[in-house]
Amino acid sequence: MTDFDYSDAPFAIREDIKLAHRDYWQRLARPGSWWTGAERVAIAAESRRARTCAFCTERKNALSPYTQAYAHSNVSNLSARAVDAVHRVITDQNRITRTFVADNHAHGLSEEAYVELTGITVAVLSIDEFNRALGLQLEPLPEPLNGKPDEYRPENLTRDTGFVPMLRRDGAIGREQDLWSGERTANVLRALTLVPDVVRDWKMIGSAQYLSIEDMGDFGQQAGRSIDRMQMELVAGRVSSVNECFY
């Protein structure tokens, strides 16, 4: 996959952002833990399609999001439940319930597959929104690579909060020791740990577009950044408010 041309950007783009985006597309093309490379790229395509899906618009305005049969304008061969999950994460995430996740699990979309699907959807949206904000074309999706998912499921899981199992606060050990240090973590970081690689993807993109986990405690002006931490948090808070983020 060739590097995306940022020459039309109205501002200079930092090299670490370009690198994070390029690395993510390369990772997306490979088989994951519960989806093949082709399925992962299809999930990314559905995340883009959701924005113009007429059914999603209709359901977003409905009193209840769980009374209508699926009628999405999909662009892939993913199962109806997988397409619906991707579209909900993009268009109606505030009304996703524990019952929805459990019902999907009971009908073939496992918790592990749902977590990986969610991680892909969020990562692609983060990159796409970066491009939209700068008036740039969306980056082309990669050609998928062959291979089978590794079906890796970490140990040290718990159901103490959230709708899916997560690593315990002291569970970032062994193969997961790079996710955080000691027991100092947060639920927003633990949320997708049922599939550790999607957390790694999220951290890679977040470190470039926002801050690394290690830098969260630094409230000064970081080298290479055009705005200081207070300004960054003002923007982040406004975006969270617009998106109705309960955090």
Confirm if 95 and 244 have CB atoms less than 8 A apart: no
pLDDT tens digits, 64-79: 888 888 899 999 999 9
Whether 222 maps to a domain, the answer reads no
Please give the tally of structural domains in the chain: 1
Q: Is residue 192 part of a domain?
A: yes
Q: Does residue 9 lie within any of the structural domains?
A: no
Does 243 fall in a domain?
A: no
Specify whether the CB–CB gap between 210 and 133 falls below 8 A.
no
Range of the domain at 175: 15-216
In 3D, which of 219, 171, 224, 225 has the Cα closest to residue 199?
A: 171
**SS3 category, 158:** strand
Report if residue 1 sits inside a domain: no
Q: Is residue 8 part of a domain?
A: no
Tell whether 104 is covered by a domain: yes
Indicate left, alpha or beta for 156 from its phi (over 0: left) and psi (-120 to 50: alpha).
left
CA–CA distance from 239 to each of 2, 91, 133, 243 (Å)? 31, 16, 12, 6
Structural domain includes residue 193: yes
The predicted-structure confidence for 218-234, as pLDDT tens digits, reads as follows 787 777 788 888 998 99
Best CA proximity match to 207, nearest among 216, 195, 219, 220:
216
* pLDDT tens for the 247 residues of the chain, in order: 667 888 888 988 999 999 999 999 999 999 999 999 999 999 999 999 999 999 999 999 998 888 888 899 999 999 999 999 999 999 999 999 999 999 999 999 999 999 999 999 999 999 999 999 999 999 999 999 999 999 999 999 999 889 999 999 999 999 999 999 888 888 989 999 999 999 999 999 999 999 888 887 778 777 778 888 899 899 989 988 887 776 6
